[in-house]
């Protein structure tokens, strides 16, 4: 080959490299890594029907990824038996020991969970949070809805039902759970901004239906002129609804519930509750797995995915019934 | 050879529980490849540390024939007091830590005095006191965790020494103290005498109330220690600390050969019992057992472990 030919070859080679190089880089770029199987561990706050819906969503996402990619996706659901930070940390640590491809966690308390989340990251295990906020100084992807907006929707709906006048009560869930506390705080703020509304009592149900029923019964005994209820956790409105029925106050005491447990939906259908301001646990589980899978493929996921809130009323309740 | 081994098992009260633990460890390591990895062994050790400290306290009370169901609540309340002293009042963390241990001992002392002076059953009294300490905890915190615990004491909860978690070493230290106290001192002999037969111990001139109050105070001290170590571990004072320290230490002590009727057993046996429960809880999660089945599976294995130990003892004694 003469000098000209060599020069042409060199130019063609350089041009070819320039054209092919982006392809080679793209194959190693974000979202292009592929594995035959993935295993993600979901750690909720506690064993609870609301988190079963999260698990359902997670399983749906796993099935969708399997159908679209052919990779096996296993979801391991590992829930603490009680809403206790130390117990949840132990569950997370045990999950880390199994070397999963990702951890999906609903934090009981961001400050108390922070140490084990750092441990997960030190072990090279990606973490995605759902239904909770980032611990201070961490920037993990979070999936969920705006807790304050959800509580405000419920409080405003109750004010509308009462025509802006009346005595109301708030049922708190677990006082140490940030999302429950935030909902209670935001509902209180909405009520405080309306002169005609007076908050006469606040109950604490620790996210337990029986406790909610006992608390609601006692509060309605002590406040016979109570006009309405809102709640800060999913178990609360179910217990309140039972207490309203027992006290024969259906239609006399209004309730705007929270979330979409089946018992809550039945209360709406039966006319015990007017409506429910619901987050979307199934969607949270679904998108948490999707985010985790995307991270496993090397993609960078958004800092927050908002799954939104929806008001469930007698008009649309059937869409949510299982 | 086999008879010799069995004879050793019967003559050594710890051999049964150690044997059961060994079997469970072998089975666990066969069932899960992750069980014996170093990270998992560290988390088992750390988990055992916290529940182990309460188990030492509860087993010493059980040797007396007493129970203190408020130890978890004392631990949680002392943790919260520690958080307030360190974060809200700006006290030196080490001083706050020491103060909380003293406060824990004081709570234990109060329990002991109420049991001995009012002649109340410790089981019933401490259920009530658990409500008092737990209630005060919620009144002070309103259920909200105290964050911003100084990093100075973080090492006590999260640090490692010679590859093992610091809380585990602290638990071992107090296990040695507990065993020395119960097995090698006159005070320990008085404990067994009180637990075996209280009226007889009184007739022998043992100041039984002093012994009982002393052990209650020591148990309160250990509960506060566990609570403060958990605060150091979490980096925050959680009102829920201690909620799960009520039944597991009693079960651990019973598995380890310390009956609730008193008079026999050692804190060392109780720690082996706690280790059995800890390993079972660990392997259940490693194997991905459904959370709805976990309590049942864990409980059933504990019952099987106790039964095997008891049956084998009876069988070989008779033989």
Confidence of residue A19 (pLDDT cuts 50, 70, 90): very low
Sort out which chain B residues have CB atoms less than 8 A from A93's CB and list them: 43, 46-47
Domain-located, residue A229:
yes
Q: Name the residue with tokens 């990093």.
A: B151
B98: tokens are 């020491």
Check A81 against B233: CB less than 8 A apart: no
E strands present in chain A: 37-43, 72-77, 102-105, 127-130, 141-144, 166-172, 197-204, 228-231, 254-258, 275-278, 304-306, 310-312
Chain B residue with CA closest to A179: the answer is B144
Q: Say yes or no: A299 and A228 in one domain.
A: no
Distance from CA of B245 to the nearest CA of A (A): 11
Q: Say yes or no: A154 and A272 in one domain.
A: yes
pLDDT tens-place string over residues A77-94: 999 888 788 889 999 999
Residues from B contacting A (CB-CB < 8 Å) are 32, 34, 37, 39-40, 43, 46-47, 50, 138, 142-145, 147, 158, 230, 233-236, 238-241, 243-244, 281-282, 285-286, 288, 290-292, 294-295
Query: Which has the closest alpha carbon to A232: A197, A267, A188?
Result: A188
DSSP-assigned beta bridge partners for residue A311: A277
d(CA B146, CA A319): 42
Q: Name the residue with tokens 């939906």.
A: A265
Q: How many CB atoms lie within 10 A of CB A124?
A: 7
Q: Helices A85-97 and B38-63 sit at what angle, rounded to 10 degrees?
A: 140
Among the partner-chain residues B233, B285, B295, the one whose CB lies closest to the CB of A78 is B285
Task: Please say whether the beta carbons of A288 and A145 come within 8 A.
Answer: no
Domain-located, residue A322:
no
Domain-located, residue A224:
yes
Domain-located, residue A27:
no
Domain-located, residue A201:
yes
Residue A17, classed as helix, strand or coil, is helix
Sign of CA pseudo-dihedral B257, B262, B268, B272: positive
ipTM above 0.85, yes or no: no
Task: Please say whether the beta carbons of B231 and B82 come within 8 A.
Answer: yes
pLDDT tens-place string over residues A175-215: 767 788 889 999 999 999 999 999 999 998 888 888 899 88
B12: tokens are 């050594």
Residue A123, classed as helix, strand or coil, is coil
Residue A36: partners with Cβ closer than 8 Å, 6 or more residues away: A71, A72
Q: Say yes or no: A112 and A203 in one domain.
A: no
Confidence of residue B316 (pLDDT cuts 50, 70, 90): low
Give the mean pLDDT of A295-315: 94
**How much of chain A, in percent, has pLDDT values that exceed 70?**
91
Check B238 against A83: CB less than 8 A apart: no
The residue from A261, A278, A295 where one domain ends is: A278
What are the residue ranges spanned by the domains of chain B? 35-288
Q: How many CB atoms lie within 10 A of CB A270?
A: 12
Domain-located, residue A313:
no
Q: Is A125 on the interface with B (CB under 8 A)?
A: no
Could you list the residue range(s) of the whole structural domain that residue A124 is in? 37-144+281-307
Give the mean pLDDT of B276-303: 81
Domain-located, residue A73:
yes
Residue A89 belongs to domain with CATH number: 3.40.50.2300
Residue B160: partners with Cβ closer than 8 Å, 6 or more residues away: B42, B166
User: What's residue A155's pLDDT?
Assistant: 98
**How much of chain B, in percent, has pLDDT values that exceed 70?**
92
Q: Say yes or no: A274 and A286 in one domain.
A: no
d(CA B228, CA B153): 9
For domain B35-288, is the CATH number 1.10.3470? yes
A78: tokens are 């590992």
């Amino acid at each position: 080959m003469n000098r000209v030919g060599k020069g042409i070859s060199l130019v063609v080679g350089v041009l070819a490299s320039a054209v092919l190089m982006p392809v080679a880089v793209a194959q190693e770029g974000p979202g292009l890594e592929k594995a035959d199987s993935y295993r993600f561990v979901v750690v909720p706050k506690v064993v609870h029907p609301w988190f079963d819906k999260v698990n359902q969503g997670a399983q749906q996402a796993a099935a969708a990824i399997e159908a679209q990619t052919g990779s096996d996706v296993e979801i391991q659901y590992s829930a603490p038996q009680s809403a206790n930070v130390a117990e949840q940390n132990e569950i997370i640590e045990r999950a880390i020991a199994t070397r999963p491809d990702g951890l999906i966690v609903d934090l009981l308390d961001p400050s108390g969970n922070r140490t084990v989340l750092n441990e997960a990251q030190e072990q090279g295990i990606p973490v995605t949070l759902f239904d909770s906020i980032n611990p201070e100084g961490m920037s993990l992807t979070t999936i969920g809805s705006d807790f304050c907006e959800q509580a405000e929707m419920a409080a405003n709906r109750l004010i509308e039902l009462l025509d802006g006048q009346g005595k109301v009560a708030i049922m708190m869930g677990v006082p140490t759970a940030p999302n429950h506390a935030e909902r209670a705080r935001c509902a209180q703020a909405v009520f405080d901004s309306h002169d005609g509304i007076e908050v006469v009592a606040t109950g604490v149900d620790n996210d337990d239906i029986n406790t909610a029923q006992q608390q609601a019964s006692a509060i309605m005994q002590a406040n016979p002129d109570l006009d309405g209820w809102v709640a800060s956790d999913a178990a609360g409105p179910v217990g309140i609804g039972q207490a309203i029925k027992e006290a024969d106050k259906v239609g006399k005491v209004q309730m705007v519930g929270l979330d979409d447990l089946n018992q809550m939906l039945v209360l709406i259908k039966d006319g015990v509750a007017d409506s429910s301001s619901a987050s979307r646990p199934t969607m949270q589980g679904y998108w948490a797995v999707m985010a985790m899978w995307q991270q496993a493929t090397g993609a960078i996921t958004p800092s927050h995915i908002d799954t939104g809130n929806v008001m469930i009323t007698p008009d649309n309740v059937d869409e949510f019934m299982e | 050879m086999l008879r010799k081994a069995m004879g050793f098992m019967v003559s050594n009260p710890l051999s049964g529980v150690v044997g059961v633990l060994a079997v469970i460890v072998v089975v666990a390591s066969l069932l899960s490849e992750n069980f014996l990895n170093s990270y998992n062994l560290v988390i088992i050790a750390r988990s055992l540390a916290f529940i182990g400290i309460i188990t030492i306290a509860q087993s010493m009370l059980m040797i007396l024939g007493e129970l203190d169901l408020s130890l978890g609540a004392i631990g949680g309340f002392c943790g919260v007091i520690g958080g307030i002293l360190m974060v809200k009042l700006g006290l030196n963390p080490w001083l706050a830590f020491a103060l909380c241990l003293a406060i824990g001992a004081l709570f234990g002392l109060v329990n002991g005095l109420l049991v001995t002076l009012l002649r109340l059953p410790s089981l019933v009294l401490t259920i009530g006191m658990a409500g008092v300490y737990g209630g005060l905890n919620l009144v002070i915190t309103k259920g909200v965790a105290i964050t911003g615990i100084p990093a100075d004491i973080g090492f006590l909860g999260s640090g490692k020494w010679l590859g093992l978690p610091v809380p585990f070493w602290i638990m071992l230290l107090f296990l040695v103290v507990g065993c020395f106290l119960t097995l090698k001192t006159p005070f320990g002999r008085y404990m067994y005498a009180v637990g075996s037969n209280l009226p007889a111990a009184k007739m022998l001139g043992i100041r039984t109330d002093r012994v009982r109050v002393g052990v209650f105070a020591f148990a309160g001290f250990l509960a506060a220690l566990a609570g403060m170590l958990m605060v150091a571990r979490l980096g925050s004072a959680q009102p829920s600390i201690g909620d799960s320290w009520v039944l597991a230490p009693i079960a651990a002590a019973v598995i380890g050969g310390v009956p609730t009727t008193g008079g026999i057993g050692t804190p060392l046996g109780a720690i082996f019992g706690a280790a059995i429960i800890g390993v079972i809880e660990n392997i259940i999660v490693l194997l991905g057992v459904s959370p709805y089945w976990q309590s049942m599976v864990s409980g059933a294995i504990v019952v099987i472990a106790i039964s095997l130990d008891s049956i084998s003892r009876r069988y070989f004694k008779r033989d």
